[in-house]
Amino acid sequence: MKKTIFTGSGVAIVTPMNDDFSVNYDALGKLIDFNIDNGTDAVIICGTTGESSTMTDQEHLDVMEYAIKRVNKRVPVICGTGSNDTGYAIKLSIEAEKMGADGLLLVTPYYNKTSQAGLIAHYTAIADAVNTPIILYNVPSRTGVNITPETLFQLSKHENIVAVKEASGNISQVAKIAALCGDNLDIYSGNDDQIIPLMSLGGKGVISVLANTMPFETHEICQLCLENKYPEAREKANALLEYANALFCDVSPIPVKESLNIMGFEAGPCRLPLVKMSEANIEKLTNAMKKVGLIK
């Protein structure tokens, strides 16, 4: 059996920005501390929610290093080092490993895409280049590529490939992954509204957008699932469902940054091409925030 990087709720943390779109490290530090102080089980830095796609190469390295130092081994830090350029993904992964990352999150190649054989070659090349455990990130809605259960089974044979973040939304696919891969591949939900069904199939937790603003509650839902207390977990998850869905009423991470700004965390704006939410969506978001007690 491979070592599990974390169980429970890992926050897919945003990258706060100043008004000039530079990284706001003070706000990032406060958000990291808020999450850890309120039960978050891992910090995932420079992922989709962290706007890694609009970071410069140096910013990507600086933000990863800052997060690793700020967390200071309180919980695992997983660095997003994926790319559609295998060579670049290897370079980023090696740098994150040197910094002391506890895990790497590697999205499937996007735009140029690839075949299933190409996915195996891509991920194997990266896994061969590092010793840090790897979480594969399957999000077909963003990349246009789905990692099939059969491909995951082949990749799970590599000692450094330990988990998958499943954001396909296809629970039948998750069931097949669990059946094929067993203990060779941990599964994390990539969708906040599917924590319970995925964990009921043996998943270890979630890599969560919701946890940015509700870390304790997200951790609690996962912990109840880990304890096989599914009725209690379902009750708590259902109470948060409207807000969890509101966090995706516009392109993520626009709504979660708006939510954090409303709460006073100074998350700032998103970088272009992402723009501010419409007034109608802000109203939807604030109404949902009131219902879960985030604002009055």
Identified catalytic residue from 123, 165, 188, 257: 165
* Nearest CA-CA partner of 139 in 171, 167, 112, 101: 167
276 is catalytic: no
Tell me whether residue 287 is in a domain. no
Residues of the chain with pLDDT under 50: none
Question: What is the pLDDT at residue 203?
Answer: 98
Identified catalytic residue from 3, 73, 123, 137: 137
Sign of CA dihedral 227, 228, 233, 235: negative
Tell me whether residue 130 is in a domain. yes
Which pairs from 140-144 meet CB under 8 Å and 24+ separation?
140/108, 140/167, 140/168, 141/167, 141/169, 142/48, 142/107, 142/110, 143/107, 143/108, 143/109, 143/110, 143/113, 144/110, 144/111, 144/113
Q: List CB contacts of 32: < 8 A, sequence separation 6 or more.
A: 13, 43, 67, 70, 71
Residue 72 CB coordination number (10 Å): 11
Tell me whether residue 285 is in a domain. no
Rounded to two decimals, the pTM is 0.97
What is the number of structural domains in the chain?
1
290 is catalytic: no
203-225 confidence digits (pLDDT tens): 999 999 999 999 999 999 999 99
Question: What is the pLDDT at residue 174?
Answer: 98
Tell me whether residue 204 is in a domain. yes
Tell me whether residue 274 is in a domain. no
Tell me whether residue 27 is in a domain. yes
Tell me whether residue 168 is in a domain. yes
From residue 3, alpha-carbon distances to 38, 46, 97, 133, 164 in Å are: 25, 23, 17, 9, 14
Tell me whether residue 271 is in a domain. no
Q: What is the CATH number of the domain that holds 165?
A: 3.20.20.70
Domain of residue 90: give its range: 8-227
Question: What is the pLDDT at residue 1?
Answer: 72
